[in-house]
Amino acid sequence: MRKKISILSALFFILLIFVGCSAETYTISKGSIEVCDSGITGAYGNFNGKYCKKVKFDKGDKIIFHIDIRSVKGKIKCELIYPDGKPFVELKDNKRVEISKEGEYKVQVDGKEHEGNFMVYWNNDI
C-alpha cells in the first residue's frame, strides 16, 4: 500500500512540474526554463506549449519589458495576460506598458516547436 501511495505521489509531483500556471502546459527537451522575481529565461533543444509567471501589478504601474529571443527554428512569442485570462498585449523588446487595472497578471511565453533560447525580464519605469 505504501508503495502505491509513493508511486501516486511521484506521478502527481511530475505532473506539477509539467504544468505552467492555470493549466497551461509545455514540453521541453534538452534544456530548461527558469524564473526569478522579474524574469523568465529558457534555453533548450525544443520548447512547445505555454510557460508563464504570475506577477502582481497595480493600476497605473508603468512597466518596461526587455526581450531577447534567439531562434534556430520554430516560433515563440511573449504576451502579458490580464488577470481574467484575456490577452492584454504582445510583448516586444523595450515595450512600455501601463497597467490599466490592479491584479495578478501572467507574463506568458508561447513556443511552437521552438529551438533556441529566450530571456524576458521587466522593471518599473520610474
Q: Tell me the domain boundaries of the chain.
A: 2-124
CA distance 61 to 26: 30
Class level of CATH domain 2-124 = mainly beta
Tell me, what amino acid is at 108?
Q
For residue 65, give the C-alpha cell. Answer: 519589458
**Nearest Cα to Cα of residue 49 among 119, 108, 121, 116:** 108
All three cell numbers of 3:
508503495
- Provide the residue-wise pLDDT of the chain in tens; the chain has 126 residues: 666 555 545 444 444 444 445 456 888 899 999 999 899 999 999 999 999 999 999 999 999 999 999 999 999 999 999 999 999 999 999 999 999 999 999 999 999 999 999 999 999 876
